[in-house]
Amino acid sequence: MLVGIGVLVYLTDFPRQAAWLQRDEIAWLERVQSIEKANKEKAEHISLGQALTDPRILLCALVYFCLNAASYGVAFFLPTIIKGFGVTDTQTGLLAALPFVFGAIGMVLLGRHSDRTMERKGHVAVALLMATVGIGLSGLVSNPIVIMALLCFAQIGVSAVPPMFWPLPASFLTGASAAAGIAAINSLGNLSGFAGPYAMGYLKDMTGNFTAGLLLLAGCALLGAIVVVLLRIDVRREQLSGELAVAH
């Protein structure tokens, strides 16, 4: 609630309202924004209704669903998995934080590389494949050190996906259609916040271990990687916008 109040007070709606920007910076930013918008609308103008039914939006929602299923499914049960190693509660808390340290570092490094190359789909697919391998193999081994290493590797992929994923729908949506399309992706994708942990817990109760659940979540991440590769998005628009930003 306090952050919400802070947003109302400090977050500006337009570059020209940002007191911390210089005039030339405001002019540059508004010029790049207008060029990006013109490029998108010139190639393809999507209405509000079209955005909600566009197959690409639904496929993006599926990718986000798969990501969140793997992310929440592992995160909610991570302390329980670690506690099974025979460590104390304090050690469990410290070890449970370790994958997210690696995730934070990997998110920055992969995000920077994606920005330098102005390529998103391949980077998102690779990150989801990292999650697939890490989560899947962690369910097939028994050594605690190996399991932790695999979960750290998986978290790098999980954490890196969102900042590289969201430019994909933004590359063909503008204005009201962008708001509606991104809201639809968020709403549908976050349904897995329930589905992933529920499936993980159900399979744990059924089998007595986490193997089946982890393999299912790995399958979700793999499905997300396949779908994102199949997305038909004109990546040249984003590359052009990036080149314009650098040029100006």
Query: What pLDDT score does 55 carry?
Result: 86
Which of 192, 210, 66 minimizes the C-alpha distance to 129? 66
Residue 119 φ then ψ, to 5°: -125, 130
Q: How many structural domains is the chain composed of? A: 1
Task: Please report whether residue 26 resides in a domain.
Answer: no
Task: Please report whether residue 33 resides in a domain.
Answer: no
Query: What pLDDT score does 136 carry?
Result: 96
Task: Please report whether residue 217 resides in a domain.
Answer: yes
pTM of the model: 0.80
Query: What pLDDT score does 245 carry?
Result: 45
Task: Please report whether residue 11 resides in a domain.
Answer: no
Task: Please report whether residue 8 resides in a domain.
Answer: no
Task: Please report whether residue 132 resides in a domain.
Answer: yes
State the Cα–Cα distance between residues 211 and 229, nearest whole angstrom: 27
Report residues of the chain scoring pLDDT below 70.
Answer: 39-52, 174-176, 234-248
Query: What pLDDT score does 51 carry?
Result: 63
Task: Please report whether residue 15 resides in a domain.
Answer: no
Task: Please report whether residue 29 resides in a domain.
Answer: no
Asked whether the beta carbons of 40 and 174 are under 8 A apart, the reply is: yes
Residue 211 domain boundaries: 49-247
Q: List the CATH number of the domain containing 199.
A: 1.20.1250.20
Question: What DSSP character marks residue 194?
Answer: H
Secondary structure of residue 210 in the 3-state scheme: coil
Asked whether the beta carbons of 33 and 15 are under 8 A apart, the reply is: yes
State the Cα–Cα distance between residues 206 and 203, nearest whole angstrom: 5
Q: What's the farthest any 2 CA atoms get from each other in the chain? A: 63
> How far apart are the two ends of the chain, measured CA to CA in Å?
38
Query: What pLDDT score does 179 carry?
Result: 78
